[in-house]
Amino acid sequence: MLLRGKTAVISGAASPRGIGLATARRFAAEGARVAILDIDGAAAEAASKSLDSFSGGPHLGLACDVVDRESCMKAIDAVVVAFGQIDILINNAGITQPVKLLDITPVDWDRIQDVNLKGVLFLSQAVIPHMRQRKSGSIACMSSVSAQRGGGIFGGPHYSAAKAGVLGLAKAMAREFGSDGIRVNCVTPGLIGTDITAGKLTDEMRVKILEGIPLGRLGETDDVAGIYTFLASDLSAYVTGAVIDVNGGMLIH
Ligand code: NAD
Q: What is the pLDDT of residues 29-79, one digit of tens each?
A: 999 999 999 999 999 999 999 998 887 779 999 999 999 999 999 999 999
Please give the tally of structural domains in the chain.
1
Establish if 47 belongs to a structural domain. Answer: yes
Going from the C-alpha of 198 to that of each of 24, 27, 98, 193, the distances in angstroms are: 22, 26, 10, 11
List phi, psi (to 5°) of 81.
-60, -45
Residue 52: predicted pLDDT:
87
What stretches in the chain show pLDDT beneath 70? none
- pTM of the predicted structure, to 2 decimals: 0.98
In a domain, 170, yes or no: yes
Q: Is the dihedral of CA 177, 83, 91, 74 positive or negative?
A: negative
The per-residue pLDDT for 54 is 84
List pocket residues of ligand 1, CB cut-off 6 Å: 11-12, 14-15, 18-20, 38-40, 64-67, 92-96, 115, 119, 142, 144, 189, 191-192, 194-196
Q: Chain-centre distance of CA 202, in angstroms? A: 25
For a pocket test of ligand 1, which of 70, 74, 89, 95 has the largest count of ligand atoms closer than 8 A to its C-beta?
95
Q: What is the pLDDT of residue 219?
A: 96
Give the integer Cα–Cα distance in Å for 165 and 43.
28
Among protein residues, the one whose CA lies closest to atom 39 of ligand 1: 192
Domain that holds residue 153: 7-246
Cα 66 from Cα 70, distance rounded (Å)? 9
Q: Has residue 252 been placed in a domain?
A: no
**Polymer length of the chain:** 253
Pocket test for ligand 1, best of 9, 10, 11, 15 (most atoms within 8 A of CB): 15
- Flag whether 166 is in a domain: yes
Three-state DSSP at 217 gives coil
Q: What is the CATH number of the domain that holds 150?
A: 3.40.50.720
* DSSP structure class, residue 114: I
User: Considering the domain boundaries, does residue 2 fall inside one?
Assistant: no
This model of the complex carries an ipTM of: 0.99
Distance 96 CA to ligand 1 centre (A): 8
Identify the residue whose C-alpha is closest to ligand 1 atom 18: 65
Is 186 part of a structural domain of the chain? Answer: yes
What is the reported pLDDT for 35? 98
Helix (H) or strand (E) holding 121: helix 119-134
How far does the centroid of ligand 1 lie from the alpha carbon of residue 196, in Å?
A: 6
Q: What is the pLDDT of residue 18?
A: 98
DSSP character at residue 101: G
Q: Is residue 253 part of a domain?
A: no
